[in-house]
Amino acid sequence: MPSLLAIDLGVRTGLALFGGDGRLRWYRSQNFGTAARLRRALPGIFQQQPQLRWLILEGGGALATLWEKEANRRQVAVRLVSAEKWREMLLLPREQRTGADAKHCAGEMARRVIEWSGAARPTALRHDAAEAILAGLWGVIAIGWLSAIPDELKR
C-alpha cells in the first residue's frame, strides 16, 4: 500500500506515516540534535518505507531542503504546508486565537486521529508529533486519499 510521511520540521522532528487509506499507521518524535545528524539519518528513514509516495513538510528552510533532496533522489513527491494552512482546514477559528491554543487543540485532534486510525495510543504526545499527524491528515486530503475530514474527527 502506498504511504505518505508527514514531517514537522526541526532537529526535534515530528513524524507521522499514513497509509493509502488515509489512516495513520505510526507517529513519533525524534530528536536528531543537529542538522548534520538529521542529514545522515534521512536515507535510513526513507529506506524503512519502501512504499513511500508522498512527503508532506510543515515548515521550510534548510531542514526542508535536506528532506526534499532525499525525497527527490527517491522519486517521492513533496508538498510543503504551513501550520497556518493545515490549521485553517482542521481547526476552528476560536481554536487558533493564540499559538498556545492552536497547539493544545492540535494535540486533542491528533489524539482523535490516532483513535480513528486504530494506531497505538501515546503515553505522552509531543506537540511536534501531534502537528506532524495533522499535517499528514491535511496531506491525505490534499492529495485525494480522503475526500474530506472524516465525520468521526469533527467536533
Domain ranges of the chain: 3-153
Instruction: HSE, CB side, 13 Å, CA atoms: give it for residue 46.
Output: 21
Which CATH superfamily includes the segment(s) 3-153? Ribonuclease H-like superfamily/Ribonuclease H (3.30.420.10)
Average of per-residue pLDDT values in the chain: 94
Output the pLDDT for position 124: 84
> What predicted TM-score, i.e. pTM, was given to this entire model?
0.95
Regions of the chain short of the pLDDT cut 50:
none
Handedness of CA 31, 57, 85, 51 (dihedral sign): negative
- For residues 151 and 44, what is the distance between their CA atoms, to the nearest angstrom? 36
- For residues 86 and 138, what is the distance between their CA atoms, to the nearest angstrom? 6
- For residues 143 and 76, what is the distance between their CA atoms, to the nearest angstrom? 13
Q: Over the stretch 10-52, which tens digit does the pLDDT of each residue have?
A: 989 999 999 999 999 999 999 999 999 999 999 999 999 999 9
Handedness of CA 142, 145, 95, 106 (dihedral sign): negative
